[in-house]
Amino acid sequence: MVHSVPFLKKYTIPEPVAGGLLVAVALLILKKSMGWEIEFDMSLKDPLMLAFFATIGLNANIASLRKGGKVVGIFLFIVVGLLVMQNAIGIGMASMLGLDPLMGLLAGSITLSGGHGTGAAWGKLFTERYGFQNATEVAMACATFGLVLGGLIGGPVARYLVKHSSTPNGAPDDNEIPGAFEKPDVGRVITSLVLIETIALIAICLTVGRVVAGLLQGTLFELPTFVCVLFIGVILSNLLAAVGFYRVFERAVSVLGNVCLSLFLAMALMSLKLWELASLALPMLAILAVQTLFMALYAIFVTWRLMGQKLRCGGAGRWSLWIWYGRYANGYR
């Protein structure tokens, strides 16, 4: 469907999102026209979500970050600043509109930077722990909006930045002839043994992560289970690499992560009750409109300048917009 519909293809809407929303819309029509409400068995949804976050942790290689040097540090500073501002704008707008501040968080960094996967995870937590009804529906709507807007404003902003950028030799950035790509080294092949090893690592992350989350429950350091699972993945991956016992195969981890995420997103979106979003539609769009304007200005006046205006940062502006709107945050690369 994504490859057949120009709109979906142009804005790189992930297949699980498109398919899940199609089912959700069909259920909305059934609900409004015939009064039918269909429930799905979602027993696998949470394990798939946790497995996805485990793969994110397993692919977090600290040694690779060190190789990035100063540039990575600067970009990290920029992203942290952006996350803080996204949440401040979201909470501020929600409070002005008389809404729950949690909605501001969902219309902030949780979905616009974290995407559908992170949005669904926090939405579930907000519903269960804080009683914020329709949190998952709000999160999915905001994340989908972010996907589309990332493509809409990314191009014009990047075009503006590239036009006003220059390379170190003084030539305009858009006149520079790109060099040839380096041929990648032949890596490990994804075999059945590699998949079994990777699944075992994910299982360890899920098991230990759940135990850690249980131990932290009720303490000052209490964290959601998916965050604990993610951190266990980071620790496990880097610990194995440090002792030289085993090297995590990042490509295999990414493949399994994308499988888990795709199934999780499809299930999460299929179960959306869109008819419960009607009263929140206009306030949510107002918050997201302000977020969109801020995002474009931040890319132009902060990211571009701090990353170095003469170092091909026109592309960095668009890259940052795509990251912050969740396009790459969910594993779709």
| pLDDT recorded at residue 83 | 92
Q: Give the pLDDT band (50/70/90) at residue 181.
A: very low
- Give the tens place of pLDDT for each residue, 35-90: 888 888 888 988 999 999 999 999 988 877 777 778 888 888 998 999 999 999 99
Look at residue 166 and give its three-state secondary structure.
strand
For CA atoms 19, 57, 78, 316, give the dihedral sign: negative
Residue 106 lies in a domain: yes
| End-to-end CA, the chain | 19
Residue 145 lies in a domain: yes
Residue 213 lies in a domain: yes
Residue 155 lies in a domain: yes
Q: Which residues pair with 172 in a beta bridge?
A: 166
| pLDDT recorded at residue 51 | 95
Crossing angle for the helix pair 15-34 and 250-270, nearest 10 degrees? Answer: 10
| pLDDT recorded at residue 179 | 46
How many whole angstroms separate alpha carbon 280 and alpha carbon 138?
A: 8
**pLDDT higher than 70, residue 156:** yes
- Give the tens place of pLDDT for each residue, 99-127: 999 999 999 999 988 888 888 889 888 99
Mean pLDDT, residues 211-235 taken together: 90
What global pTM score does this model have? 0.72
How many whole angstroms separate alpha carbon 103 and alpha carbon 218?
A: 24
Tokens of 85: 């501002």
Whole-number mean pLDDT of the chain?
81
For 81-105, give the DSSP string.
Answer: HHHHHHHHHHHHHHHHTT--HHHHH
DSSP state of 217: T
Tokens of 199: 């699944």
Q: Give the pLDDT band (50/70/90) at residue 165.
A: low
Residue 292 lies in a domain: yes
Where b means 16+ CB within 10 Å and e means fewer, 57-83 reads bbbbeeeeeeeeeeeeeebeebbeebb
Q: Which residues pair with 166 in a beta bridge?
A: 172
Residue 175 lies in a domain: no
Domain interval for residue 107: 6-166+189-330
Residue 177 lies in a domain: no
Residue 254 lies in a domain: yes
**What is the count of structural domains for the chain?**
1
Q: Give the pLDDT band (50/70/90) at residue 281.
A: confident
**pLDDT higher than 60, residue 327:** no
